Amino acid sequence: MTNSEISLSVDVLVIGWGKGGKTLAAALAGTGQKVAMIEQFESMHGGTCINIGCVPTKTLVHDAQERREDDDAASCWARAVQRRDTLIGTLRDVNHHMLADLGTVTLVDGRARFVGERTVEVSGGEDRLTVTAPTVVVNTGAVPSRPDLPGIDSPRVHDSTSLQHVDPFPRRLAVVGAGPIGLEFASMFAGFGAEVTVLNRRPRLLPAEDEEVAAEVQSVLEGDGITVLHEADLRGVEDGAEEALLRLEVAGRSRELAADAVLLATGRRPATDDLGLEAAGIDVDERGAIVVDEHLRTSAHGVYALGDVHGGAQQTYLSLDDHRIVLSQLTGDGSRSTSDRVAVPTTTFLTPPLAAVGLTESEAREQGRDVLVATQKVAAIKAMPRPKTLGDPRGLVKIVVDAGTDEIVGARLFHVDAQEVINLIALAMRAGTTATQLRDGIWTHPSSTEALNETLEKLAPVE
């Protein structure tokens, strides 16, 4: 962007280079439409997932699993970070060229702010560029939530982005928050050799899960040396010469905890600050999320919102599906909507991974369903040798089945390869494949999928 560029008119304006936004931009450019992609930071070309989210963190998770007990923690961490950075640099370049090489796409680096209906001003240094389009897509994602507490700006306090380059490697890590991000980082840093303490505000881990699933997760974490403090609230951080001192309230009692580094994993909020949404007539909810309908249309005509910025589950693959919905609006019959989403799986990348889809046993019973349930510890599943060959037979498999239709209504997989097997179960749920068909399926050997053969034989009524 230069001083001579004062205005630009395109067919489609995309603000934010996330999964949904970049895929939609490429698809529309492929039809000959003129597209402008605005991204605030060059380092974020490609979006959160490949730069600071899914891909870099799972790269570190993998390398933590490769560390041997007698390996030096700091050296392993440094090598892992270097590998992470090399991979992400390559992927960012690929994503940059995904749009830069298209003749009808204009890339603009700078901060976008609405100044009117379907009109934004982009600032970069002293430069200003006004961009207008009949169709605007907001895809700015989410940012870490940071509690307002004494000492929270200590250099030893990190979010999930800065902790990926923490130096020196922390011998003691305190993780504030026990959601997916907090637990993933706790498991990862424990794998690298850190002493990890997780501060969980709730009475138990994973309150949305059945108790036996949560208990198994806690058992595995504690087996890896992770300490979990329940009903723990952070009250402040005191930054010392050699360590950070956390002031806590644990189950109603004051307590202190020393750490070399602190991770704030207290959630992420939609990135809508200072976007000037009011100038465009775009409504937001009480959390700052852009309000959309089932077709991802905002309250402003011609403006859509994709991904984390409109609230709800923060998953890259949902952002990808968002692009399909908007593409259906812009180039198709407009029939696709968020209501089409059925049996959407999730995975928390602990070691081993925890994957879920559909209802828990508790939720199914609360709905008055007549269900059959099968639960097995992975170590006891004779027909599932894959985890044993990898030296990690921990975890469990739990599947909930509708007794009347024989269809799976939910599953919780906590084992090696769970992130892959859950996709098969999710597909079965969407396609109406029965539990009996999965039980009698012919699966490759040795594989984690084989757990379905044995576990589904043990379906029994809920007492």
What pLDDT digit, counting tens, does each position of 166-184 carry?
999 999 999 999 999 999 9
Instruction: Report how far apart, in Å, the C-alpha atoms of 294 and of each of 276, 298, 310 are.
Output: 23, 10, 11
Q: Is residue 380 part of a domain?
A: yes
The per-residue pLDDT for range 442-461, each reduced to its tens digit, is 999 999 999 999 999 999 99
Could you give the CA distance from residue 23 to residue 325 in angstroms, rounded to a whole number? Answer: 12
Number of domains present in the structure of the chain: 3
Q: Report pLDDT for 126.
A: 81
Same domain flag for 101 and 164: no
Beta-strand pair 12-15/35-39: parallel
Q: Report pLDDT for 312.
A: 86
Same domain flag for 133 and 16: yes
127 band by pLDDT with thresholds 50, 70 and 90: confident
Sheet with 119-124: strands ordered across: 7-9, 127-132, 119-124, 111-116
Q: Report pLDDT for 241.
A: 87
**Which structure tokens are listed for 18?**
């996330």
Q: Is residue 422 part of a domain?
A: yes
> For the residues 374-386, what does the mean pLDDT come to?
97
Q: Report pLDDT for 5.
A: 55
* Domain of residue 385, CATH code: 3.30.390.30
Q: Is residue 114 part of a domain?
A: yes
Q: Report pLDDT for 148.
A: 94
- Dihedral angle sign, alpha carbons of residues 234, 56, 13, 302: negative
Same domain flag for 355 and 453: yes
1 band by pLDDT with thresholds 50, 70 and 90: very low
Share of the chain above pLDDT 70, in %: 99
22 band by pLDDT with thresholds 50, 70 and 90: very high
Same domain flag for 136 and 274: yes
Same domain flag for 335 and 351: no
Q: Is residue 262 part of a domain?
A: yes
Q: Which of 266, 301, 323 is the last residue of a domain?
A: 266
- CA 285 and chain centroid, separation: 21
Same domain flag for 125 and 164: no
Print the domain residue range for 114: 7-141+269-340
- CA 433 and chain centroid, separation: 28
Q: Could you tell me if 58 and 349 are in contact, meaning their C-beta atoms sit under 8 angstroms apart? A: yes
Same domain flag for 77 and 107: yes
Residue from 97, 165, 301, 445 carrying the catalytic annotation = 445
Q: Which of 322, 340, 358 is the last residue of a domain?
A: 340
3 band by pLDDT with thresholds 50, 70 and 90: very low
Q: What is the 3-state secondary structure (H, E, C) of the chain?
A: CCCCCCEEECCEEEECCCHHHHHHHHHHHCCCCCEEEEECCHHHCCCHHHHCCHHHHHHHHHHHHHCCCCCCHHHHHHHHHHHHHHHHHHHHHHHHHHHHCCCCEEEEECEEEEEECCEEEEEECCEEEEEECCEEEECCCEEECCCCCCCCCCCCEECCCHHHHCCCCCCEEEEECCCHHHHHHHHHHHHHCCEEEEECCCCCCCCCCCHHHHHHHHHHHHHCCCEEECCEEEEEEEECCCCEEEEEEECCEEEEEEECEEEECCCEEECCCCCCHHHHCCCECCCCCECCCCCCECCCCCEEECHHHHCCCCCHHHHHHHHHHHHHHHHCCCCCCHHHCCCCCEEECCCCCEEEEECCHHHHHHCCCCEEEEEEEHHHCCCCCHHHHCCCCCCEEEEEEECCCCEEEEEEEECCCHHHHHHHHHHHHHHCCEHHHHHCCCCCCCCHHHHHHHHHHHCEECC
Same domain flag for 319 and 354: no
Q: Is residue 150 part of a domain?
A: no
- Average pLDDT, whole number, for the chain? 96
Share of the chain above pLDDT 90, in %: 96
Q: Is residue 60 part of a domain?
A: yes
* Domain of residue 33, CATH code: 3.50.50.60
The per-residue pLDDT for range 384-405, each reduced to its tens digit, is 999 999 999 999 999 999 999 9
Q: Could you tell me the pTM of the whole model?
A: 0.95
Does residue 463 register a pLDDT over 80?
no
Could you give the CA distance from residue 300 to residue 283 in angstroms, rounded to a whole number? Answer: 8
Does residue 2 register a pLDDT over 70?
no
Q: Is residue 148 part of a domain?
A: no
C-alpha angle 431-436-441 in degrees, rounded to nearest 5: 80
Same domain flag for 399 and 451: yes
CA-closest candidate to residue 426, choices 448, 408, 401, 452: 408
CA-closest candidate to residue 141, choices 309, 319, 17: 309
Q: Is residue 146 part of a domain?
A: no
Could you give the CA distance from residue 177 to residue 348 in angstroms, rounded to a whole number? Answer: 14
**Which structure tokens are listed for 398?**
């739990």
Q: Report pLDDT for 462.
A: 76
Same domain flag for 131 and 273: yes
Q: Which of 266, 296, 327 is the last residue of a domain?
A: 266
CA-closest candidate to residue 353, choices 125, 180, 225: 180
> For the residues 236-255, what does the mean pLDDT come to?
95
Q: Is position 445 annotated as part of the catalytic site? A: yes
The per-residue pLDDT for range 424-444, each reduced to its tens digit, is 999 999 999 999 999 999 999
**Which structure tokens are listed for 399?**
């599947």
Same domain flag for 37 and 131: yes
Same domain flag for 67 and 164: no
CA-closest candidate to residue 227, choices 269, 259, 254: 259
Residue 356 phi/psi, 5° resolution? -145, 150
Output the CA torsion 95→24→280→315 (10° steps).
-70
The per-residue pLDDT for range 316-351, each reduced to its tens digit, is 999 999 999 999 999 999 999 999 999 999 999 999
